[in-house]
Structures are given as structure tokens and as C-alpha cells.
Chain A
Amino acid sequence: MLNDMIMKKIYILVLAVVLASSAFITGCKKDTTIAIDEPIDYLSVKKGKWNGLDSLTDSLFKNYGVRVFYEFNPRIIDPTTFYVPAQYDKAKLYTKYVIEKLWLEPLKKNFPKFLSDQKPIEFLILGTYVHFNSISSGLAAGAGLNGQFYRLGMGGADGLAFTKASLRDHMCTLYHEHAHQLDQKFGRSYAYDRVSQGSYYQLNYLTKPNGQRRTDNDAQIDGFFTPYGGFAPEEDFATSVESMIRYTRAEIQTIVAKNPKLATKYQIVYKFYLDKGIDLHQMHDILDQVTSTLPF
């Protein structure tokens, strides 16, 4: 009984010491301020010495607010998209002449509102073309990356011939891809989709029912600028923009006169762009002029 009492006292003493020390330890003032750990960047992008293209892309970012990427890392490439970087020399020529001279500079000079409101803040230069789901899916699965509001990517820089004609033609594709972006951003409208509803060729756009290859003229008579434009409304919209960059205003008037539906859609698209601050017919002429000054 006595032993029990002593034991109990000892235990109470131990318990008191333990609780006190516990309170002391946990109650310690650990830090004068609450430390907030910096997030650890497991995919930090490290960059060695800058090369000429790094300086060029940096100056473009400062002048136009568009960051050009020519080299990639897991931060930039999402896991379901596969593409390869362009060769350095090609990427440099592409940045200088396609992105700066033919795209950003004329826009800033002539249609600054369109550039500031509608530019993609990131531009990717791809060596070959975009593959989706697997690097081995198709020889050329996509000309560009266009489904993202803030980023535009163009494929085929490695295979691009740096001649006046080839670069002028490439600008039509660039405006085509950018048109997809604007389409996604604003919507080409309910009215637009109703104009040729039911008459799209879908996957048979390249071949006529009689098995012959479908020409641009065939498609124009059917109410589309090109056979691919007859694939689906989204390509109809994008090829309209592409065509307005490719042909003069007079040529476009002749084309749209072939089918009243085409004329209606042309008016919608032309106004769509006009509302955003750019006259595509003027842009066509400007691009012709700027291309003529390129040093190739």
C-alpha cells in the first residue's frame, strides 16, 4: 500500500515533468518570423551563355511582347504533344524574317490595336510538324499549334525554303493558324455556321463525287475558298483568312462572286477582323510590299 503510494507519487512526478517538458518543447519560440519555404522548382530552366538567337528573341519580347521559343523543355511541351526543335540556323532565319519582319513589325506599324489585343504571347518554332499522342503519328499531323489562346506554334521551319515566294506563302499559313485562335477566342458566330450548313464535304474534301481531284475553283463554286475550307466550318473560317492574305481585294471579289454563300461568309470574316483592328486586304498588300524588301 505504501509502495503503491510512493509509486503513484513517482509516476505523478514523472508525468508532471514530462508534461512540463512537452509543453516547454512544443511551446518554444521556434522562429522570430514564420518561415515560408520557397517552392522548389524541380523543372528549373537553366540557361547558359546566350547565343545570337537568344538575344534576338529577347529583343522581340521587349519590342512586341511575344516570347519566341526555339528550344523546348518539359515545361513547354505538354505530355500529349510531340515535336522537334528546328535547326539553329533555320530558327534564327525564321525568327528574324517570318516573325519579326513579316508578322510583328507590319502589325505594330499598321494595326497596333490588333497586335496588342490579339497577339499570342508565346510563339513556338518547330523543326518539322506537330504530332499528337505519339511522335510516330502521321508524317505531318498539324501545321501549327493553334488551340491555345496564348500560344501559337508553327511547324516546318527546317523544311522552309528562305525565298521571297516561300516566305510569302508561309505567311498565309501563319494567318490561317492564328485565325483558328481568334475563332476559338471569339467564335465565328452562329450566323456564319448557318451559311454553308449541310454542304460541307467533310473528309472527302480532296475528291469530287466523280473521283476527280477537287480544285480551288470547284470549291469556290461550292462556296468555299479552297477544298480544305469545305472540310468543316472551322477550316472554312481559317481558309477565308488565309485567302484574304493570299489574294488581292480584286481577286477576292472575283472569287466570292462565284457563290453568294461565299460572298456572305467573306463579309462576315472580313468584318470580324475589321472589328478587331485589322484590314486583311490592306495586310495582303503590306505583306507583298515587305516581302519584296527581304534580302533573299
Chain B
Amino acid sequence: MKTIYNISFLAVFMCLMASCKKETLLDGSKSIERSNALEKELKTQLNDSKDGWILFVTPLNANVKSAMPFILKFDTLESKVNMTSIYGKDVSSFFNISAATGMPLLTFSTGTALSAIYEIGSTDVTDYFFKVLKVTSDTITMQPYRKGSSSASEGGAILKMVRNTQPTWIKEWQTENTKLFDQASFFGRYLTAEMTFASGEAFTPLSVAFIKFSAADATYLGANYPTAINNKQAGAMTFTYFPTPATRIDPLSFTGYNSIFFDIYAAASTNALYGTGPATMQRLLKTNYFMIRKINATSINVFAIDKNGKEIVTGKIFY
């Protein structure tokens, strides 16, 4: 009796299981559907923002409190992206949207400032293709596909690209038309750098100097330094710092689009020019770049923002 009961129970159970619809569980096309829906939304949003999107990139150096803004305007019809950053203004390149691991993959498919800083290796941009995680009308959340080394797991830091609502810092940054690199009076002389930090931390004025390279060295850097290769808006110099009147360090720096930047080149992180020099400046100034607000007769007003667009370093470099 009990045996019959057990058998019949099992049989009913088997019937129930056999009649289950399994496709919904095993059907991988759902993932494609989900990805396609996200891709459609991504294209819509990329295309919809007249002033484009702002991607904030954070350096890995913990001393740096600022983030670098990249203003990106996407033309989804031509697959072109116009990029304005501290590295250059209105630089055109191509992008495409493919798929990866169940989500859209936004690829900056030809060389850009983003692939250049990826190669510099000191920010959370650890790839130039990004998995798109979430799309809303004001934020696109994405993640570099790789972490920049073969032993690391997949997927880098979560990055946010926010809709450009023309925040005031953009105007502050883009008003100055004078090019610092052409202003000979600021080069090859002692300058003083004074900073104010939004955090309220104190700052002791620094003795600094902008020193240009020889033509041959400048050509070498222009052909080999990732953010300077073919970048006509980059001017190579050192952002020299004098800890005492008798000692100096000479970090590699560049003037860019209304900017001064001094990144740590990860492949040469122990080198004074490429690595330890810029690291010292980043520790002292709490940023890896300045946006130039105004160039006056004997002073330059500079500032840097954080990943929320808040001005966190305000400075004056003068003689």
C-alpha cells in the first residue's frame, strides 16, 4: 500500500515537473532582449542630450581629491563622438555600441584622450570599452571591461557619466582665450603657487616654475607620451618645484586646453620626470590638473573640481 502511494506520489511529481515550462529558465535570448533594451535606451539618451554628457574620471593616487571631466557629445547616426577635456577641445573620434556579457558595450573605437589616459595607467579608466550597466535620463553608469592587467578580474571601477546641464564650472573653464603656453613671461622664472582647499586644509605657498623643453625633447614627448601624441593642444614643460632654494624636482607637465596637467605615467612610476615628480605635485596640490580660469598680466587663476563638479582646489600662480 505504502509503496503504491509512494510510486503514485512520485509519478504525480514527475508529471508536474514534466509539464513545467522550462524555456523561460534556460532561454538565453532573454539576456539579449534585456541588453538590446538597454542599448536602445543608451542610444536614445546619448542622442538626446544637446550638450552631451560629462564623464568624471578619478585618478588612482589617493592624495588626489579632484576628478577630470570629459565632455562627450555623441552623434549616434555617424558613430562620432566629440570630446572636450583638459587634454584638448573638440576632438573628434569614433565610437560604437556592441555587446558584452549580457549588456551593451560602449567602445571608444579610435584613439582618444580616454585611450591615452588608459595607457598612462593612473586613473580608474582601465579600458577603452565600457560595459553599460544602467541608463537613466540624467546618469549613465558604466564600467571599464577590464582592469588593465591580465591577472585582475573582469570589470573595473564604476564610472558615472552625467547629463551636461551646463554647470558653472564649464563656463569658468572655457572663457579664457589666451593660451598659457604662448605667454613667455610665465616661463623660466620663479613663480609662487597659492592654493585654497574646499576641505579647509592649510596650504603653504610653493615656489614653482614652468620650464619648457628643448625642441628635440618636446618632439620626442609629442611622439611618445600618450596624452601628447599628435595632440596639438598639448605643450610639454616641467612644473618645477623648489622645496628649498637649492633643491628642485622637475615633474613632467603639459599645458592642455585651458589647463595644466601632470599625470603619473604608471609604466615609469619610479622615474622622477614621469612618476615620482608628478606624484609629489599631486600630493602637495591634491589634484593632477588645473583648469585655467583667467590669465592675468602676472598671475594665473586656476581651479580643480571633484567628481560631483564641486570646486575643491582654487589657486593662484603668480610672480
Contacts and interface: CB of A to CB of B under 8 A. Distances in A.
A58 to B, nearest CB: 16
Given A12-B4, A40-B29, A159-B224, A134 B98 contact: no
Contacts of B129: 72-74
B128 interface: yes
Interface string A83-97: 011111011000000
A88 B96 CA distance: 13
Contacts of B101: 42-43
B8 to A, nearest CB: 5
Interface in A183-238: none
B99 A44 contact: yes
B111 A135 contact: no
A133 B101 CA distance: 22
A72 B109 contact: yes
A8 B245 CA distance: 106
B148 A135 contact: yes
Contacts of A86: 110-111
B266 A40 contact: no
Nearest to B93: A88
A165 interface: no
Contacts of A19: 11
B27 to A, nearest CB: 9
A88 B110 contact: yes
Contacts of B119: 84, 128, 135
A136 B119 CA distance: 7
A49 B126 CA distance: 27
A160 to B, nearest CB: 9
Interface stretch (B14-22, B135-143, B178-186, B246-254): B14-22
B230 interface: yes
A181 B129 CA distance: 29
A74 B146 CA distance: 10
A46 B94 contact: no
B6 to A, nearest CB: 11
B223 A88 contact: no
Interface string B92-106: 111011111110010
Interface band, chain A: 35 or more
Contact of B105 (A40, A73, A133): A73
B105 to A, nearest CB: 7
A11 B10 CA distance: 13
A239 to B, nearest CB: 23
B149 interface: yes
B111 A85 contact: yes
Q: How large is the interface on B (under 10, 10 to 19, 20 to 34, 35 or more residues)?
A: 35 or more
Chain A, interface SS category: loop
A12 B64 CA distance: 79
A132 B151 CA distance: 11
A22 B107 contact: no
Interface string A143-168: 00000000000000011010000000
A87 B111 contact: yes
Contacts of B44: none
A79 interface: yes
B99 A71 contact: no
Contacts of A51: 78-79, 94
B15 A21 contact: yes
A41 to B, nearest CB: 8
A274 interface: no
Given A84-B118, A128-B226, A48 B79 contact: yes
Contact of B149 (A12, A134, A161): A134
A15 B148 contact: no
Contacts of B198: none
Interface string B55-81: 000000000000000000000111100
A250 interface: no
Contacts of B18: 22, 25-26
A22 B9 CA distance: 12
Given A18-B8, A40-B32, A135-B119, A158 B229 contact: yes
In the A-B complex, list the 7 residue pairs whose CB atoms are closest, starting with the nearest: A71-B109, A134-B149, A136-B266, A87-B111, A80-B150, A136-B121, A84-B115
29 contacts: A11-B1, A11-B5, A11-B8, A12-B4, A15-B4, A40-B32, A41-B99, A42-B100, A46-B96, A46-B97, A49-B77, A51-B94, A73-B100, A84-B116, A85-B109, A85-B110, A85-B128, A86-B111, A90-B111, A91-B110, A133-B150, A134-B149, A135-B119, A135-B266, A136-B149, A136-B267, A138-B267, A139-B224, A159-B229
Given A22-B15, A88-B110, 8 more contacts: A15-B4, A18-B15, A42-B99, A42-B102, A51-B94, A70-B110, A85-B115, A134-B150
